[in-house]
Structure 1
């Protein structure tokens, strides 16, 4: 996608679905929906159509069969009747002899009578491409340079399975040629497939495209990414509340190193800077901490209005949906602004909402703060000075500044006891946002709840002297 957009090319999406057991339409739909959500669009193929359809390989079998027949007629391919058991036995023998595992051509030289006899037995053959012996194939890779393969290490390989469906290495060559593909950029695990594909290009008389094999993505343990490393699909990260622009930014940096130290890029900026010359050969490591950092930066960049809308689905899925709905838009905006810097993912809103709507669960640290000398005077001063309402956010800030001034205490000696009383914690969201969303009545209620946490203090917070 980045290469096509950077150099004015076109991106085509097709479904390589000849592995029937592992291919489902719902998988296709999820992939395309994820790409669209990420802002990655394509110019031709599934969903959008084009001049080179159909775009599912299972719908192109007649095309493949015609070219298989051509290879059979020219003696470049042959039917193979070997059973799975025979192939497994050959594999074991080669391993025991310390040789490279490959098909050694058992069916290559069968006579026509032998082939007809096997067909008469009801055996459905696969079709193998006859690999030319003693040849060297050079993959001119745009990332890795020239990579050399010897044909003698490969052996004749299947291009059409016995069920009549083509293999990946055969179908992609035909599709790439007929669809006018000029550049194939894919994972390095496909590098070993490339010499087989070059042999198919050669046999069919097609000109191969340019290849670029990018590094795999590993977990922090340097092992291939899997479910044990966490979410493995785009849809899972979407459900967790990662932003599409953050995920694109992060994925682009996996194996690609732009110049400079900057890490936050818009999609347009990535496209403008992208080149295969700066794609690394070594595997990239999926660092969840880095993704979280990037996602958090994008959340902070959003306007309150944008973030309010982005958070709604996650709030609606939380136990606090009705409580938020009751706030009204002004207080909802104060709430969102208050939690914005504490969100790593949008799904984190649920935990932050609990601070607003659940009764305090006092930590031992908070209780120790509340029992410090002079705290009672601070809480009493707050309770007695609370107004009837906070109609503007700035009123809450002004109230707290006035409270600090009138108690003649350092700000920390006022804010820490209030935080402990209101939230049951000694750190967290800024008090003005909490108090503005709650309003004075809820602030008073929470002060009373804090009072109940201290046996022996029913008559008040020690002396009820207020400093005027």
Structure 2
């Protein structure tokens, strides 16, 4: 996709809760799309708009938290809240005067009409249609109300919604830049609400109008919005507003094959940040969730953008995989300096790791941690009496070779202290064991695990007295 015009993508979350992985991916892909154009020397920008028209569920706190999440991930917006721009305001709750102008225009053109149907009446109609095997759609009950009928209902205190009048017997076609050509029949689309009875704008209306007024050129969103697109195209056409290009990404599925939610694996971005995930890891994981990159290395945000290609977005749902997120987190950890790692884990281990052991502890566990809680687990395992022995470790100790190692471990440490190579040499001489038959029981005895950091570093970290104590305790297991 090439163009000489200025490109503008957007992300327009609703502040009704904490931002989760699913909606974050939408924001990230829109940032990457803008960056992909910038990498080709084309002018491109990313816009943030807060869609807070749901007056019951929207909360200012959530809006600020989602902006905090975006900034933490370096998904900066060039236009929007706290940045300004020529198309504001960027909070939809502040744009009611703008919407009123277009409502009036549609009413005047007879492309919209007042609807007094109650929620109960609509629910009954929907139930009846479903029982009859008919796809639910508004039947046009209020479509032909006269001025007198409308005035009479208003006089009775009834508050109407405003519905868009769908034209009959038309075909709506558009080229989805992800899914390909799409066609919809207007006869399958019921007249829909564009202004709610409480005076707030509906998503279907304000989302489309704002994209046009704000100069958005590319709308990339989840495929759950695909059926909204023909409705929004009709609104934009009726108002003679510019139509952006639309692309709809397959959804993300959870571990159970259902749409990703808190019940099947999704987490809030705030929770990921608190757990200690690095922004670059989250971006690399989500950037590859449903998009194929040739480069399998950990990439910066600009590098992800430079390699982002719409044609590489899959058409099948992507499945969330926590192991893959942890893979990219591990890659990010390995790129950090020891000082950076210590700053990252310090608050999790400061009650166990003394300042004089901070550097050695960091060097010891760096290769074996993904999150700060892992560092805490190793600190507790290596430097406290709270060490536990897992089943694999106990199995290693209960072998014939393991028993020989345990019988001679205290003496070897008593003689050589934290000099790991000489402890190993002494054990080999005393037991005749070598290779796994020696190292697995030795590791299991000292660490309570059959895996983990290098033993030579663990010996130096723990010191002779702690090693002697651990050898004695292990013998009782």
TM-score by length of 2: 0.85
Does 1:431 pair with 2:455? yes
> Relative contact order (alpha carbons < 8 A, sep ≥ 6): 1 or 2 greater?
2
Matched position secondary structure for 2:50: coil
| Alignment deviations for residues 335-364 of structure 1 (CA, whole Å, 9 cap, x no partner) | 122222222323222221111222244563
Say if 1:231 and 1:237, in contact at 8 Å, map to a contact too.
no
Equivalences for 1:91-130 in 2 at 5 Å? 91-130=126-165
- Distance, in Å, in 1 between the alignment partners of 2:247 and 2:145 is 39
Residue in structure 2 matched with residue 142 of structure 1 by the alignment: 177
Cα 1:371/1:96, change in 2 over 3 Å: closer
Shift of 1:409: 5.3
2:340 to 291, 302, 306: 306
Shift of 1:400: 4.6
TM-score by length of 1: 0.86
2:121 to 42, 61, 86: 86
Consecutive unaligned residues in structure 1, runs of 5 or more: 316-320, 388-395, 455-468
Cα 1:377/1:68, change in 2 over 3 Å: closer
Residue in structure 2 matched with residue 392 of structure 1 by the alignment: none
Say if 1:379 and 1:418, in contact at 8 Å, map to a contact too.
no
- Distance, in Å, in 2 between the alignment partners of 1:346 and 1:234 is 17
Equivalences for 1:250-289 in 2 at 5 Å? 250-259=285-294, 262=296, 264-289=298-323
Cα 1:192/1:313, change in 2 over 3 Å: farther
Cα 1:162/1:425, change in 2 over 3 Å: closer
Residue in structure 2 matched with residue 323 of structure 1 by the alignment: 352
* Greater CA drift, 410-419 or 272-281: 410-419
Equivalences for 1:326-337 in 2 at 5 Å? 326-328=354-356, 331-337=357-363
- Count of matched residue positions in the alignment of Structure 1 and Structure 2: 436
| Alignment deviations for residues 39-80 of structure 1 (CA, whole Å, 9 cap, x no partner) | 211101012222221111111111111211121122221111
Residue in structure 2 matched with residue 291 of structure 1 by the alignment: 325
| Alignment deviations for residues 54-107 of structure 1 (CA, whole Å, 9 cap, x no partner) | 111111111111211121122221111111222223223322333232112221
| Alignment deviations for residues 405-441 of structure 1 (CA, whole Å, 9 cap, x no partner) | 8769565466455434433444433222222222223
Residue in structure 2 matched with residue 219 of structure 1 by the alignment: 254
* Greater CA drift, 65-74 or 419-428: 419-428
Cα 1:50/1:196, change in 2 over 3 Å: same
| Alignment deviations for residues 111-136 of structure 1 (CA, whole Å, 9 cap, x no partner) | 11111110110111111111111111
Larger Rg: 1
Cα 1:84/1:446, change in 2 over 3 Å: closer
Cα 1:53/1:259, change in 2 over 3 Å: same
Cα 1:118/1:334, change in 2 over 3 Å: same
- Distance, in Å, in 2 between the alignment partners of 1:440 and 1:69 is 84
Equivalences for 1:26-45 in 2 at 5 Å? 26-45=61-80
- Distance, in Å, in 2 between the alignment partners of 1:271 and 1:129 is 38
